[in-house]
């Protein structure tokens, strides 16, 4: 025992994690991956495997057939297109608008700043989905029911995002740089664009990733305000797939599997951004 | 740069930026002055306008509804003042849902945040293949809810669940996970932790990357253990993010809906088990509003939830400030 | 220092602006009439099997286009649309368990009587028609689609093993009442150890539900009577005792576990309304073809079926009613039974020799047409209160508590009654 202690210490001091850490990571990764794997395996089988006590882990040969059934049942191309429009627009606008607001709250002096920021924090506590019926009436008055605007516009801003981007500016945008740019004659927007935005890119990428996921997976409000025959999204299309008399799990999961692919793609793209940010930090340090 | 400079509020001085541009004169000066004074408002305006119209207005309207007998389709059935609120405080189902929500907050969200912090600490170290691990932790968040519910039904099924299969191999009786609060709450907690730990780990990780490496290296040369470095350097320096996450996940936890709903494989119509043993406040709200069509009562519940969240967030904010600054 | 935003960010912002503009032209009203073509949207809570029929209707009615929408969470969407007085489809399909919730708001739907709908020409079975009306029949709210004539699916291989008959008629003779059904179950359990007699008690209870004249609410004034209804209590205790006596396996309705039990032969019987045959087939898989059969349920009965309603918001009331009337007509319903197995709500159809002669190969060629038709033909009209669907959950949960071993039947009943009272606002 006495011999083991120093060796452990030296390993730690060298900064390289040991087997235990990798073991834990492998376990975490397995737990994360398994349901995803499972949701890709089931669409390759038929319904009779659902509920089997031994989980069905090997792919079967029904994938093409099941995906064909998805496209026969609902207009999944349209749903994918709509989900892409909604999620992309919401993500870009939300990240941009909250970066602007976050930057203002963190780095610009103005009267009432603290009070207004407190207002943002309080609005984060409002469970917004509780105002669904009045919101629907409002959409009716605007004539937006069954249009994608009805799901895009309310999602363009949220308090979480502003809070997060304020934090990002606070931590990553050095005040001296803002000052220097000001001296060089940059306008406020110029400073934001040239100084702040490049600095907060990793945090913006994290926000973009989460916003895209949340918007893509949003279900209740799109279900209520959109018209699944005209403006389906991936999630409402899944709901249509789930309305057979017999719950057709392989059909639903086939839809879910196709629907998750764009999400995986976005995720891979953005996680590169996040990693790039890490490298930057390493170079700086 | 030292760590303390990243605290909220200390980054920018409140006094106006030194007025060296004033001397230049002409339209450029006026433009600059206008820019300095008004651009900040322009930058934050979109948030307040959109939020005001599409979130605040509907919510205030919900508040108005809560003072009425209000049927979901037919609308206003007459002013009742605080009657709905009185009913709610005498409603045993409300207290039951509040208890369940609180338990899930402690066992689900609490554990999830600790695990996230710990995972972030590991991911922040020099790992081989770091991109893979990082991508891995957030995958649960991508999986569609339908798939999640099927997987967990397979895990926690009474007759055919894998966990029970393992238990019975070990000679332990099969457990009907949905049947009692003390088995259902831990089970739902695992779903919450599984779905959200990686999400918050990435948030913590993003913040940890801002912590200067020299601090770590200096401490390591002094022979400090990883654990000690983690708790006395890393965590305190991402304090604002920790507070942010605690407050935000508390707000989210008070509205827990998806996880217990998809745990309810026995289809108890949103009552969260045969004896409401895992019904949360949000599930009860849906039951009242969209199954019983009682919009007035649902609106009341919504507002009480808001007040609870506000109080809890305040307490949490104060507590986590203190805890995070201890070292 | 680089005063430059990355290329990626610029592209993304540009794309967002374009997308925001593009999103403006998505959508459009669902009931637009352009060039004389009328588009009717039909939204149903499950797949009613109408797809081919829509095509047929479009062919025979030039100028009409039909859009099909399926939403399993339809009531949530519909109440919002009705409250805002906007966005509802031209025709909506609701289950008979939920239509009661919309009766207080019947003014939001067309009175189909104004469009000539009554029960004289091409009549539905009277009780099913009546349940779709309010105001003592003056306001016709919905038109009945199918019925859920009740049968019992059973595994012939397990019945053989237990020494029970396997012929549908002889099997039905085992259980003229639900008490006899329980007794048969006990006999079964004595012989067969690795399978339970029936899947769960919730399904049994729902099956029993339509055999009384009143259940939770009084026909005279819609008051809560479950606490005084001794027939209801007897039914409840009969069902609950099936789990006490281990006749029920406790595989909850509509779950993967139940599907698995049916497939692997862990449950020998399941309550089967007409529309559930498909589900049973799907769950137990092709490998079990011929192992299943169907017999008449104790005391007959009905479980499920739906109504088509026309919201007042529709811009094409005449065309919408005409389409809904056609979809619920005896001619179309006969087609649906022969192709999909959904039992018609028209006596002229379910008494039709062709329907009565229908046999199902998967279910050992059991005469399903005859069994389901007889189950509904003898039915008494059951009164359902406006809050029926709210209080029903309390009783389903009570049965589940007994199944979970948390309560004795009598205690479960008492709690169910007080829970139901609370929900009913008594």
Q: pLDDT of A70-81, one tens digit each?
A: 888 788 899 999
Region B160-180: mean pLDDT is 89
Chain A residues whose beta carbon lies within 8 Å of the beta carbon of residue B127 = 17, 21-22, 25
Q: Which value, in Å, is the radius of gyration of the alpha carbons in chain B? A: 25
Are C93 and C43 contacting, i.e. CB atoms less than 8 angstroms apart?
Answer: yes
Find the radius of gyration of the CA atoms of chain C: 24
pLDDT at C8 over 60: no
Indicate left, alpha or beta for C304 from its phi (over 0: left) and psi (-120 to 50: alpha): left
Q: Which residue has the tokens 């990240």?
A: A95
Taking only the tens place, the pLDDT of each residue in C98-117 is 999 999 999 999 999 999 99
- Label residue A4 by pLDDT band (50, 70, 90): very low
- Does the beta carbon of C315 lie under 8 angstroms from any beta carbon of chain A? no
CA atoms within 13 A on the CB side of C146: 28
From B1, B50, B223, residue closest to A157, measured CB to CB: B50
Burial annotation C268-298 (CB, 10 A radius, 16+ → b, else e): bbbbbbbbbbbbbbbbbbeebeebbbbbbbb
Q: Does C137 touch chain B (CB under 8 A)?
A: no
Write down the pLDDT at residue A15.
55
Reported as a single tens digit per residue, the pLDDT across B216-248 is 788 888 888 878 888 888 888 888 788 888 888
Residues 6+ apart with CB under 8 A from C96: C131, C304, C305, C306, C307
Q: Which residue has the tokens 């399941």?
A: C270
Q: Residues of B with CB below 8 A from C252's CB? A: 265-267
Q: Tell whether A81 lies on the interface with C, counting CB pairs under 8 A.
A: no
Query: What is the per-residue pLDDT for A7?
Result: 38
pLDDT grade for A14, boundaries at 50, 70 and 90: very low
Q: Could you please report the per-residue DSSP string of B211-236? A: S-HHHHHHHHHTT--HHHHIIIIIHH
Measured CA angle at C324 (ends C313, C151), to 5 deg: 125
pLDDT score recorded for residue B230: 86
Strand C37-44 vs strand C91-95: parallel, antiparallel, or unpaired?
parallel
Beta-carbon contacts of residue A184 (< 8 Å; ≥ 6 apart): none
Q: Does residue B19 carry a pLDDT above 90?
A: no
Is A66's pLDDT higher than 60?
A: yes
Q: From the CA of C319, how many Å to the nearest CA of chain B?
A: 25
Q: What is the mean pLDDT of residues B64-83?
A: 92
* Residues in chain A within 8 Å Cβ distance of C286: 48
Task: Output the furthest CA–CA distance in chain B (Å, rounded).
Answer: 88
Contacts of C367 (CB under 8 A, 6+ apart): C168, C356, C357, C358, C359
Contact yes or no for B50 and A154 at CB 8 A = yes
Q: How far is C87 from chain B (nearest CA, A)?
A: 14
Residue that wins the pLDDT comparison between A46 and A280 = A46
Do residues A79 and A236 touch, judged by C-beta distance below 8 A? yes
CB-based contact B306:B254 (threshold 8 Å): no
Q: Is A188 on the interface with B (CB under 8 A)?
A: yes
SS3 C217: strand
Mean pLDDT computed over C67-94: 88
To the nearest whole Å, the CA of A146 is away from the closest chain B CA by 16
Least confident among A126-130, A135-139, A231-235, B44-48:
A126-130
SS3 state of residue B67: coil
How does the average pLDDT of chain C come out, rounded? Answer: 89
What is the per-residue pLDDT for C26? 36
Specify the higher pLDDT residue, B248 or C215. Answer: C215
Cβ–Cβ under 8 Å, residues C355 and C337 = yes
Distance CA B238, CA B226 (A): 16
Q: What percent of chain A has pLDDT over 90?
A: 22
In sequence order, what DSSP letters do the residues of C209-251 get, joined into one string?
HTTSSBSSB-TTT--B-TTT-HHHHHHHHHHHHHHHTT-B---
- Give the contacts of A154 (CB within 8 A, at least 6 positions apart): A128, A135, A221, B50, B54, B55
Mean pLDDT, chain A, rounded, equals: 80
**DSSP secondary structure letter of residue C315:** S
Contacts of B53 in chain A (CB under 8 A): 138
pTM of the model: 0.88
- Top pLDDT among A3 and B44 is at B44
Q: Tell me what pLDDT residue C12 has.
A: 57
Instruction: State phi, psi for C95 to the nearest 5 degrees.
Output: -70, 155
Neighbours of chain B (3+ CB pairs under 8 A): A, C
CB pairs under 8 A between A and C: 165
Work out the pLDDT band at C55, boundaries 50, 70, 90. Answer: very high
**Residue A205 banded pLDDT, cuts 50, 70, 90:** confident
Q: Which two tokens stand for residue B217?
A: 């290296």
Whole-angstrom Cα distance, residue A105 to residue A119? 12
Least confident of A57-71, A149-163, A197-211, C39-53: A57-71
Determine the Cα–Cα distance for residues B292 and C110; give it in Å rounded to an integer. Answer: 23
Residue B11 pLDDT class (50, 70, 90 cuts):
very low
Task: Evaluate if residue C360 carries a pLDDT over 70.
Answer: yes
């Amino acid at each position: 025992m006495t011999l083991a202690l120093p060796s452990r210490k030296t390993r730690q001091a060298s900064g390289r994690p040991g087997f235990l850490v990798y073991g834990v990571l492998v376990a975490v990764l397995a737990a994360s991956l398994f349901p995803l794997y499972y949701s890709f395996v089931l669409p390759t089988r038929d319904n009779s495997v659902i509920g089997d006590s031994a989980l069905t882990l090997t792919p079967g040969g029904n994938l093409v057939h099941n995906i064909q059934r998805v496209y026969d049942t609902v207009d999944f191309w349209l749903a994918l297109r709509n989900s892409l429009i909604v999620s992309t627009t919401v993500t870009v606008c939300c990240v941009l608008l909250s970066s602007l607001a976050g930057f203002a709250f963190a780095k610009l002096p103005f009267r009432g700043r603290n009070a207004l920021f407190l207002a943002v924090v309080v609005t984060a506590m409002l469970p917004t989905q509780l105002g669904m019926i009045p919101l629907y009436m409002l959409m009716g008055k605007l004539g937006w029911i069954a249009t994608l605007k009805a799901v895009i516009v309310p999602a363009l801003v949220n308090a979480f995002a502003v809070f997060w981007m304020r934090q990002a500016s606070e931590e990553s945008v050095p005040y001296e740089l803002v000052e220097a740019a000001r001296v060089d004659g940059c306008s406020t927007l110029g400073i934001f664009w040239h100084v702040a935005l490049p600095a907060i890119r990793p945090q913006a990428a994290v926000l973009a990733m989460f916003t895209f996921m949340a918007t893509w997976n949003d279900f209740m409000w799109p279900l209520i305000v959109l018209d699944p025959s005209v403006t389906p999204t991936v999630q409402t299309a899944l709901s249509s797939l789930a309305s057979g008399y017999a719950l057709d799990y392989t059909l639903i999961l086939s839809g879910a599997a196709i629907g998750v692919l764009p999400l995986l793609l976005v995720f891979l793209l953005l996680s590169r951004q996040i990693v790039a940010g890490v490298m930057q930090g390493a170079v700086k340090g | 740069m030292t760590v303390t400079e990243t605290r909220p509020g200390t980054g920018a001085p409140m006094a106006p930026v030194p007025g060296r541009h004033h001397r230049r004169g002409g339209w450029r000066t006026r433009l600059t002055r206008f820019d300095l004074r008004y651009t900040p408002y322009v930058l934050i305006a979109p948030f307040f306008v959109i939020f005001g119209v599409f979130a605040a207005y509907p919510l205030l309207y919900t508040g108005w509804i809560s003072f009425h007998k209000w049927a979901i389709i037919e609308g206003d059935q007459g002013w009742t003042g605080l009657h709905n609120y009185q009913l709610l405080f005498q409603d045993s189902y409300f207290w039951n849902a509040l208890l369940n929500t609180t338990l899930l907050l402690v066992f689900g969200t609490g554990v999830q945040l600790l695990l996230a912090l710990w995972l972030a600490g590991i991911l922040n170290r020099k790992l081989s293949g770091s991109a893979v691990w990082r991508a891995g932790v957030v995958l649960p968040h991508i999986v569609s809810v339908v798939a999640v519910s099927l997987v967990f039904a397979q895990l926690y099924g009474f007759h055919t669940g894998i966990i029970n299969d393992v238990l019975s191999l070990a000679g332990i009786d099969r457990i009907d996970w949905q049947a009692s609060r003390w088995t259902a709450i831990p089970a739902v907690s695992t779903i919450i932790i599984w779905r959200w730990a990686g999400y918050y780990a990435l948030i913590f990780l993003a913040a940890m990357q801002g912590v200067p490496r020299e601090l770590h290296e200096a401490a390591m040369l002094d022979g400090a253990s990883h654990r000690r470095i983690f708790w006395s350097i890393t965590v305190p320096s991402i304090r604002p993010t920790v507070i942010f996450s605690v407050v935000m996940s508390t707000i989210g936890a008070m509205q827990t809906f998806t996880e217990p709903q998809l745990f309810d494989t026995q289809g108890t119509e949103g009552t969260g088990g045969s004896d409401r043993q895992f019904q949360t406040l949000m599930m009860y709200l849906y039951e009242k509003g969209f199954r019983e069509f009682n919009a007035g009562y649902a609106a009341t519940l919504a507002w009480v939830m808001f007040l609870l969240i506000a109080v809890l967030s305040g307490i949490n904010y104060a507590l986590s400030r203190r805890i995070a600054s201890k070292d | 220092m680089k005063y430059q935003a990355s290329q990626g960010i610029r592209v993304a912002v540009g794309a967002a602006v374009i997308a925001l503009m593009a999103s403006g032209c998505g959508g459009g009203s669902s009931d637009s009439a352009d060039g004389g073509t009328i588009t009717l949207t039909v939204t149903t809570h499950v797949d009613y099997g109408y797809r081919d029929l829509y095509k047929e209707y479009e062919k025979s009615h030039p100028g009409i286009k039909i859009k099909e929408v399926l939403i399993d969470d339809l009531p949530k969407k519909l109440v919002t649309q009705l409250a805002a007085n906007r966005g509802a489809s031209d025709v909506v399909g609701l289950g008979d368990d939920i239509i009661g919730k919309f009766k207080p708001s019947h003014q939001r739907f067309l009175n189909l009587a104004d469009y000539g709908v009554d029960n004289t020409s091409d009549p539905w079975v009277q009780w099913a028609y009546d349940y779709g009306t309010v105001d003592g029949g003056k306001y016709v709210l919905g038109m009945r689609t199918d019925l859920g004539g009740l049968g019992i699916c059973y595994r012939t291989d397990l019945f053989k093993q237990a020494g029970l008959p396997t012929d549908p008629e002889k099997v039905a003779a085992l259980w003229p009442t639900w008490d006899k059904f329980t007794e048969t179950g006990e006999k079964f359990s004595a012989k067969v150890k690795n399978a339970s007699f029936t899947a769960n008690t919730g399904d049994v209870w729902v099956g029993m539900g339509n055999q009384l004249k009143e259940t939770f609410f009084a026909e005279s004034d819609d008051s809560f009577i479950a606490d005084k209804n001794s027939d209801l209590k007897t039914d409840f205790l009969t069902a609950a005792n099936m789990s006490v006596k281990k006749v029920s396996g406790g595989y909850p309705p509509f779950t993967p576990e139940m599907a698995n039990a049916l497939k692997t032969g862990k449950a020998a019987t399941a309550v089967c309304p007409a529309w559930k045959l498909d589900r049973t087939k799907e769950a137990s898989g092709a490998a079990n073809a011929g192992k299943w059969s169907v017999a008449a349920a104790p005391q007959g009965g009905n479980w499920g079926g739906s109504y088509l309603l026309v919201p007042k918001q529709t811009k094409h009331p005449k065309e919408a009613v005409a389409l809904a009337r056609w979809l619920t007509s005896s001619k179309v319903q006969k087609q649906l039974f022969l192709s999909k197995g959904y039992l018609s709500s028209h006596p002229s159809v379910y008494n039709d020799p062709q329907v009565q002669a229908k046999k199902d190969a998967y279910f050992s060629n059991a005469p399903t047409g005859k069994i389901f038709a007889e189950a509904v033909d003898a039915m008494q009209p059951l009164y359902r209160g406006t809050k029926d669907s709210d209080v029903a959950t309390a009783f389903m949960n009570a049965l589940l508590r007994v199944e979970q071993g948390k309560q004795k039947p009598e205690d479960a009943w008492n709690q169910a009654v007080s829970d139901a009272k609370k929900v009913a606002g008594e």
